[in-house]
Amino acid sequence: MTNLNSFLKIGLALSLILVAVAPSKAQSGNQSDITGPNPVEIIPTDSNDAEPGKSSDTTGPNPVEVIPTDSNDAQSGNQSDTTGPNSVEASPTQDSETENIEEVQTNKVAPKVNRPAYESLLQKANFKLAVQLQEEFQAEEFRNHLGIELYGTLPAVEDVSEKLYELWQQTGKKAAFIYVSSQSEQLETFTIFPQTTDSNTESLKAAAGKQSSSSSIEEVTLRETLPDVSRQILLDQVEKFRREITIPRKRKFTTYLKPAQQLYQWLIAPVEEQLQTNEIDIVVFSMDAGLRSLPVAALHDGQQFLIEKYGVAVVPSFALADLGYTDVRQAPVLAMGASKFTELSPLPAVPIELQNVSIGTWQGASFLNERFTLDNFKIQNKQQQFGIIHLATHAEFRPGELSNSFIQFFDERLSVTKLRKIANELGWSTATTSPIELLILSACQTALGDEQAELGFAGLAVQSGVKSALASLWYVSDAGTLALMSEFYQHLSQTPVKTVALQQTQLAMLRGEVLVENGKLKLSDGKTISLPPELAVQGNFNLSHPYFWSAFTMIGNWN
C-alpha cells in the first residue's frame, strides 16, 4: 500500500459541478470534501490570458485551468501514480476511530454530481482532461456510496499507459483500459493502450491509419463517439440482454444473441481494429452508472463471444484498483462456507466446493457450517496470512443503502458496511501486511440494473480492502457454481494471471468441456466429481449457455 497520509487530489473541473451542502467558509471550486495539505485547485481562466488559437478544449462561459500540485508539497508516496500498487486508497482507519468516522459519514451530506454539467464538460474536453473527469466522477460515486474517504492521486493518461506496459512486462499479458461513458444523447468510449517501444510505434500508427504525430498521447489512445446511441437506448438494450441471459427457463435458447450483438457493435466494434493491432489479451472496463452489472464476457460479434477473444475484467476506475502484481499460484487459501441456513435456501454443493479448494496444489484451511462464523473468520485470519479468501455462501448486493447488502455467515449476516471495519481490524489495508490477493464470493447475486446495488458490487474490492474480487452478478445453479469454481482453481494453479484463469474456465464451459453426466460433474481435465443426491437427480446437461459462466466477474486487479 502507498503512504497512508496521502490524499485524493480532487479539484478538476468536476468540483465545479458537485451539488452539496457545503460549509459557508469554503470557497467555491477550491475546496474538496477530501482535504489535504495541498489539493489541486481550479483557477478560473481569464479570457484575456488565453493565447490566440489555444482557447482550451473545455470552452464555455468560464473555462477552467488545472493548477498542478507542486511536487515539493507532496508527501512521500505521492510522487508517482504508478510506483505503488494503487494510486487511490480507502482510508484504513484505526479501530478506535472507526465508529466515529462511520457516524460522521452517515450524517454528512454527500456531494452529488450535476450529471448534465458533467456530460457537457466531458464532451468538450480533450482526451487527457476527459480521463481525469471520469476518474473523478467514479471516485465521487464510489466514495458517496461506500461511505469511505479516498486517498492518493488521480492518474494521468501517461500513468495509465505506463502502468499497462509495466504489467505487460511482468505478466506477459497485454491489457487495454476502456472507459465507457453513457451520456444522455450519445455513447463515448475512451481506450488507453500500453505504451509502445520506439521500434513499433510507427507501425502501430500506420496500421491505425494515423498520421505521424509528436504527441505520445495520440499513439496510445482512442476516443470513439456514437452520437445516435443515447443513454436510454443503451440501457434498454442492456436490460433486454440481462433479461434474456439470466432467466433459467431460457437456458436452452439463444434469444440473448440479438442484444448481445447490438451491444458488441456499440461498445467493442469501434475499437476492435486497434485491440487487434495492439495484440491485446485482456480488456479492462471502467463502466458508467447503469452498466456496472453488464456481463461483458457474453457480448457477441456474430461469430464469437468477447471472452473467446479477450480476458475481461471490470474496475471502479483505474485509480481505485490496487495494481501491484503478485503470482497467486502459491498463495494459501482460507475456504469457508455453509450448505444450510435458517432463512435462506440451502447450498448442497458447498461441502464439495470447499473440499476441491482444499486439495491438490492449494494449501490452506477449510471450515464448513457451524465452523463458518465471523469469530472464527477473524481468528483464522489473525493466525495466518492468506492470499485468497473463498466464501461459499449467500451474498447479496441490494438496492438502496449499502447497509442493505450482506454476506451470510453461518450464525449471522455481515453487512457490507461493516466489511471495511473487519478488513481494518485484520490489517488488510495496512502497509505492514501483504494484501489479500483475491476474495471470492461464489454464491453472490446483485439487483441487476439498480445503480446503488451495482456500486456495491463493483466496489467490492475497494470496500473489503482486497486487490481483486471474483463474484457472480446473479445466483447461478449449484452445479454450475461448483463446476466453475472447480475449473477456476485448476486453471489458476497453472496461470499467473487471474483474469486469464477465469477466461480459460469460461471457455471450457462454453465449449462443452465441463458438463453434468450420470450424477457426476466432469471437468475439462477429465476429472469427475460425484454430485450430492439433490443435484444428481437433475439429469444430464452441459454448461455452455452464458447463464452458467458469464455471471462471474473479475473486479479490481485483473493480473
**How do residues 523-546 score in pLDDT, each as one tens digit?**
999 999 999 999 988 889 999 999
| Better-predicted residue by pLDDT, 162 or 215 | 162
Asked if pLDDT for residue 38 goes beyond 60, the answer is: no
Q: Is 307 helix (H, G, I), strand (E, B) or coil?
A: helix
How far, in Å, CA of 257 to CA of 99, rounded? 48
Asked if pLDDT for residue 169 goes beyond 80, the answer is: yes
- Domain that includes residue 168, residue range: 157-314
pLDDT band at 148 (very low <50, low <70, confident <90, very high): confident
Do both 171 and 308 map to the same domain? Answer: yes
Do both 399 and 495 map to the same domain? Answer: yes
Do both 278 and 175 map to the same domain? Answer: yes
Q: Does 322 fall in a domain?
A: no
Q: What residue ranges in 3-45 does DSSP mark as E strands?
A: 18-19, 41-44
Q: Within the chain, what is the greatest distance between any pair of CA atoms?
A: 80
Looking at residue 113, what is its pLDDT?
78
Do both 242 and 289 map to the same domain? Answer: yes
pLDDT band at 429 (very low <50, low <70, confident <90, very high): confident
pLDDT band at 82 (very low <50, low <70, confident <90, very high): very low
Do both 257 and 296 map to the same domain? Answer: yes
Looking at residue 111, what is its pLDDT?
61
Nearest Cα to Cα of residue 287 among 316, 246, 326:
316
Which residues contact residue 463 at a Cβ distance below 8 angstroms, ignoring those fewer than 6 apart? Answer: 90, 146, 148, 402, 416, 419, 420, 456
449 dihedral zone (left: phi>0; alpha: psi -120 to 50; beta):
left
Do both 110 and 165 map to the same domain? Answer: no
State how far Cα 249 lies from the chain centre. Answer: 29
186 dihedral zone (left: phi>0; alpha: psi -120 to 50; beta):
beta
Asked if pLDDT for residue 124 goes beyond 80, the answer is: yes
How far, in Å, CA of 51 to CA of 43, rounded? 17
Asked if pLDDT for residue 31 goes beyond 50, the answer is: no
Do both 146 and 169 map to the same domain? Answer: no
Which range among 281-285, 414-418, 425-429 shows the weakest confidence by mean pLDDT?
A: 425-429
Tally of structural domains, the chain: 3
Q: Does 5 fall in a domain?
A: no
Looking at residue 449, what is its pLDDT?
83
Looking at residue 321, what is its pLDDT?
94
Do both 255 and 339 map to the same domain? Answer: no
pLDDT band at 447 (very low <50, low <70, confident <90, very high): confident
Mean pLDDT along residues 544-553: 97
Looking at residue 358, what is its pLDDT?
74
Looking at residue 89, what is its pLDDT?
54
Looking at residue 559, what is its pLDDT?
97
Q: Of 90, 124, 152, which one is at a domain's C-terminal end?
A: 152
Quick one: what percent of the chain has pLDDT higher than 90?
66
Q: Of 119, 152, 185, which one is at a domain's C-terminal end?
A: 152
pLDDT band at 17 (very low <50, low <70, confident <90, very high): low
How far, in Å, CA of 357 to CA of 369, rounded? 16
Do both 303 and 376 map to the same domain? Answer: no
Asked if pLDDT for residue 224 goes beyond 50, the answer is: yes
Do both 433 and 467 map to the same domain? Answer: yes
Which range among 175-189, 204-218, 323-337 shows the weakest confidence by mean pLDDT?
A: 204-218
Do both 254 and 369 map to the same domain? Answer: no
Q: Which three cell numbers stand for residue 481?
A: 457454481
Q: What residue ranges in 398-475 does DSSP mark as E strands?
A: 406-408, 413-415, 438-446, 468-472
Q: Does 319 fall in a domain?
A: no
Q: Does 328 fall in a domain?
A: no
Q: Does 130 fall in a domain?
A: yes
Which range among 15-24, 73-82, 209-218, 439-448 shows the weakest confidence by mean pLDDT?
A: 73-82
Asked if pLDDT for residue 453 goes beyond 70, the answer is: yes
pLDDT band at 376 (very low <50, low <70, confident <90, very high): very high
| Better-predicted residue by pLDDT, 78 or 386 | 386
Residue range 476-523, pLDDT digits in tens: 999 999 999 999 999 999 999 999 999 999 999 999 999 999 999 999
How far, in Å, CA of 476 to CA of 551, rounded? 8
Q: Are 281 and 500 in contact (CB under 8 A)?
A: yes
Q: Does 2 fall in a domain?
A: no
Q: Are 236 and 182 in contact (CB under 8 A)?
A: no
Mean pLDDT along residues 252-270: 97
pLDDT band at 112 (very low <50, low <70, confident <90, very high): confident
Question: What CATH number did the domain enclosing 497 receive?
Answer: 3.40.50
Tally the residues of the chain: 559
Asked if pLDDT for residue 207 goes beyond 70, the answer is: no
Which range among 68-82, 83-97, 109-123, 521-535 shows the weakest confidence by mean pLDDT?
A: 68-82
Q: Does 323 fall in a domain?
A: no
Looking at residue 505, what is its pLDDT?
98
Question: What CATH number did the domain enclosing 182 receive?
Answer: 3.30.420
Do both 100 and 123 map to the same domain? Answer: yes
Q: Of 152, 172, 195, which one is at a domain's C-terminal end?
A: 152
